[in-house]
Amino acid sequence: MDLLEEILQYLKEQHLDPIVKSIQSETKLVQHPANYKVKMIDSLSKVPVAPANQPALSNLLKKLSKKALPNVPAQIQTSKLYKNYDRKLRRNPKKAQTEDTISIEIKESTAIQDLKNISDISIDYRQEPSSIIQPSNISFGPISEEPDFLDEFDNDDDLGFLNYECDSDQLQTTSKELALKHGFPERMNVKNRSDHRPFFDKPEEKPECELKFPKNNNKHYPITCDNATYDCYDLKVIYDREKTGFEESKEFQIVINSVIAARYQVIEFLGSAAFSKAIQCLDLVTNQMVCLKIIENNKDYVDQSIDEIKLLLYVNVNGDVEKKNLLKMYDYFYHKEHLFIVTELLKDNLYEFSKYNREHGEKPYFTIGRLQKIAYQVLIGLEYLVSLKLIHCDLKPENILIKSFSNCEVKIIDLGSTCFIHDHLGSYVQSRSYRAPEVILGCQYDYRVDIWSLGCILAELYTGNVLFQNESVQGLLARVIAICGPIPDEVMKNGRHTGKYFTKEKLIYQEIAEDDNENQHLSEDMIEIIKQSTKGKKKVNIIVPKRSSLRARLHCEDSMFLDFVRCLLDVDKDKRLTASEALRHPFITECKYQDGL
């Protein structure tokens, strides 16, 4: 009995007749014997199975993953080997001879035991590395399928919504008319869906470790008072012994080869952010390259950076930040009216490198395999932050830096917006394009806002386009609904700001700002007359989201990657994956890519 017959027999014994029919129809299309296993696993993973039958299917998939593929006729193996060898020989004779001598000497009668062992035979060198994938979701049951919506976006630059303008006093009437035309509020009803995901049923129990706090040289602190523990850290102030007074300029002058604080020699200017500059320096004490972050001389910025130093100390003292993929801090000090933070030196951030790669790269760097690596490393970092009761609150491509291009190693940086889960959480967190819906609407939020940001980042790196392109919060909400589906009623009801963005019919609206420049050629009296005549008659845009899907926007057919991103971008915050759950998703644990984990 061959492999196919054995599997069909097993399925019939388990009374899984629908799957039997599915496999029989699928395998009729398979011409190459080695593709049977791939097709069967794919079919088994997609067919809906009742909960009672899932253990039987799971057992079969486990067995199938360990089962040898059917023997491939010798002439097929040999011809492909020589075909690949001949192709490589024409490109580089010397290299091809050294690389392929071993593979050509494979005995023709050898059966293929594992997909990894047939790389020389099955890989088409014209394919992108990440397109070679080991059949996955073994033992995890069916992966959720995205609803088949008609993609109403015209192209990748489509904002994702229709715009209707009306007077503010006509908002209710116009909203009702448009709701009737476009199927609202019914379209905002969340459809029942199966949320059974076997890989989350038994969460990995990790003992809660005792949190550490950085030590200081003060005899009084830490001290507990009024149910709070007060602590301190030492901040070095480095100064010239024989000089007083203010600096001539509030701007810190960066001069190549100059030495800062008698220790850090300036090598290169790296870039600037909203309230800081970064320079590459040689530490004259340790003789290693470091990054100096120079905070702008502004009280609010300095206060925020003092908070960041506190958190970096806390993060660095509780674990190995090298293994947790977070930034390592070496030093911090105050010098010439500026605060300095000294950290390890990393390479480009993901935004800059993605842009450079698209404009100058021959091949896309961010393949699905490398995105798997990036997702895993970021999730390890986020899981560590969760263990410290911290939310990053500003995860975006600019705040993930590359440590190694060849190994695709990254680190999370910038804890300037990071907060404790028990802090008074404000509504203005996260950069807008990576902001979770519950934050926008003013709901209570938690660690999973960072998971939403990660989903946005992976989609952006894969396509090269910001997933939720927007010119306003309303435009962002419309695009979220268009791509990820309706916002649950519970989120809408609990949102403090829901009324600012939605009508009673659950259509999005936005007041149109007056353009003061439009009447600047008129006299002040005439402008005042116009203002009085138009008082209470402001214009409003009513926004109707189009319909699309992640599959359509990402232009991707890798169902496991799509499912992973979809789980990260679940509009329902309570059903969105946590970092620990995301690390157990089959995309991370089971999928094998040539350039992946």
> Diameter of the chain by CA atoms?
96
Architecture of the domain made up of 161-191+348-352+362-514+527-589: Orthogonal Bundle (1.10)
Which one is catalytic: 17, 283, 394, 572? 394
Q: Is the pLDDT of residue 217 over 70?
A: yes
pLDDT of the residue at 218:
85
Is 394 an annotated catalytic residue?
yes
Least confident stretch, 16-20, 47-51, 157-161, 443-447:
47-51
Q: How confident is the model at residue 56 (pLDDT cuts 50, 70, 90)?
A: low
Looking at residue 356, its amino acid is Y
Rounded to the nearest integer, the mean pLDDT of the chain is 79
Percent share of the chain, pLDDT over 70: 70
What would the pLDDT profile of 299-333 be if each residue is shown by its tens digit?
Answer: 999 999 999 999 999 999 999 999 999 999 999 99
Q: How confident is the model at residue 247 (pLDDT cuts 50, 70, 90)?
A: confident
pLDDT of the residue at 499:
93
Contact between residue 468 and residue 433 where contact means Cβ atoms under 8 Å apart: yes
What would the pLDDT profile of 107-143 be if each residue is shown by its tens digit?
Answer: 333 333 332 332 333 333 333 444 444 444 333 334 4
Question: What DSSP character marks residue 578?
Answer: P
What would the pLDDT profile of 58-80 be if each residue is shown by its tens digit?
Answer: 666 555 544 444 333 333 333 33
pLDDT of the residue at 460:
97
For residue 39, what are the contacts with CB-CB under 8 A and spacing of at least 6?
A: 23, 26, 27, 29, 30
pLDDT of the residue at 509:
94
In this prediction, residues 81-95 reach a mean pLDDT of 38
Q: How confident is the model at residue 353 (pLDDT cuts 50, 70, 90)?
A: very high
pTM (two decimals): 0.74
pLDDT of the residue at 345:
96
pLDDT of the residue at 333:
96
Contact between residue 387 and residue 365 where contact means Cβ atoms under 8 Å apart: no
Contact between residue 381 and residue 451 where contact means Cβ atoms under 8 Å apart: no
For residue 429, what are the contacts with CB-CB under 8 A and spacing of at least 6?
A: 393, 394, 417, 419, 435, 439, 449
Least confident stretch, 8-12, 151-155, 205-209, 461-465:
205-209
Residue 391 — φ and ψ, nearest 5°? -110, 130
Identify the residue whose tokens are 């291009």.
Answer: 405
54 vs 457, more confident? 457
Q: How confident is the model at residue 415 (pLDDT cuts 50, 70, 90)?
A: very high
Measured CA to CA, the distance from residue 431 to residue 305 in angstroms comes to 18
Measured CA to CA, the distance from residue 164 to residue 541 in angstroms comes to 5
| Strand 161-167 relative to strand 264-272, pairing | unpaired
In this prediction, residues 87-114 reach a mean pLDDT of 36
Question: What fold, for 235-344?
Answer: Phosphorylase Kinase; domain 1 (3.30.200)
Least confident stretch, 9-18, 260-269, 533-542:
9-18
Measured CA to CA, the distance from residue 191 to residue 566 in angstroms comes to 16
Q: Is 328 exposed, middle or buried (0-12, 13-18, 19+ CB in 10 A)?
A: middle
pLDDT of the residue at 423:
85
Measured CA to CA, the distance from residue 235 to residue 309 in angstroms comes to 10
Identify the residue whose tokens are 């609904």.
Answer: 481
Q: How confident is the model at residue 382 (pLDDT cuts 50, 70, 90)?
A: very high
pLDDT of the residue at 483:
95
Residue 370 — φ and ψ, nearest 5°? -70, -35
- What does the CA dihedral 573, 578, 584, 588 come to, rounded to 10 degrees? 80
Measured CA to CA, the distance from residue 506 to residue 541 in angstroms comes to 14
Give the SS3 label for residue 19: helix
pLDDT of the residue at 457:
98
361 vs 151, more confident? 151
202 vs 376, more confident? 376
pLDDT of the residue at 274:
81
211 vs 434, more confident? 434
What would the pLDDT profile of 501-526 be if each residue is shown by its tens digit?
Answer: 999 999 999 998 765 555 556 666 66
In this prediction, residues 272-279 reach a mean pLDDT of 90
Residue 390: its H or E element: strand 390-391
**Segments making up each domain of the chain, as ranges:** 3-66, 74-127, 161-191+348-352+362-514+527-589, 235-344
242 vs 293, more confident? 293
Identify the residue whose tokens are 């970064």.
Answer: 278
Looking at residue 63, its amino acid is K
For residue 223, what are the contacts with CB-CB under 8 A and spacing of at least 6?
A: 229, 230
Residue 552: its H or E element: helix 550-554
Measured CA to CA, the distance from residue 33 to residue 27 in angstroms comes to 10
pLDDT of the residue at 195:
55
